[in-house]
Amino acid sequence: RTVSNGEKPSARYIFADTCCYLDKKPEYMTQLYGKRLVYKDHPRIVFRGAIDSLQSGILLLQSEAADNKQDKLVKELEEVLLFVRNIMRCEVLEEGFPAVSLLGMEDEELREKSHNPVKYFNMKHVLPNYGMGRLALELNALRSSVREAEITAVKAFRKEDTVEREDLITALNRLSSCVYIMMLKYLNGAYR
């Protein structure tokens, strides 16, 4: 039962868009935070879904890497997984994301190395092809998933001419660089 704003402050939920109170959570709604409900297609919920999918992709790749005895890759994917989980945590709790640090590299180093593979990996930018092998292709697919999550973040946090949560968008941008670096490392034999 929906009641208007102010009539029943003891209601279990609040519809975030209208501030109406609800006694029961409808199946087509979910919690944005606290008692605040939104429709399941709300941009922030779509973003959370993209982060969930990203975690699933990391775990599947990590399992495949473990099956292939790629212990260094498994370890680095664990760090990536924790990074992604921290993105989710900071978004849900509305906390600021800490400075980006992945695989021993800070923000600018991640960007620099991903943009200059000849300098750092003695190879040109990679144009993916089936001959790269399954793990390299799955790293590329993971990088694509990170980009998709970044796009959903922009859609979720863009408000006309401004962007909220630039910290999360930057974290995802650098994560994409990180996964590309991991693909370069894999192709360069650094995980052997």
Q: Which of 170, 86, 183, 80 shows the shortest CA–CA distance to 141? A: 183
Q: Do 134 and 170 contact (CB within 8 A), yes or no?
A: no
Q: Is pLDDT larger for residue 29 or for residue 153?
A: 153
Residue 2 has pLDDT above 50, yes or no: no
0.85 cut: is pTM over it?
yes
pLDDT of residue 13: 75
Residue 125 has pLDDT above 50, yes or no: yes
- Tokens linked to 102: 């992945």
pLDDT in tens, 3-44: 444 445 566 777 777 777 877 888 998 888 888 889 899 999
Residue 1 has pLDDT above 70, yes or no: no
For residues 66, 68, 73 and 77, what is the CA-based torsion angle, rounded to 10 degrees? -40
Question: Which position has the token pair 């973040």?
Answer: 153
Please enumerate in sequence order all residues whose Cβ is within 8 A of that of 176, keeping only pairs 6 or more positions apart, or say none. Answer: 114, 143, 146, 147, 150
Lowest mean pLDDT among 10-24, 77-91, 102-116, 175-189: 10-24
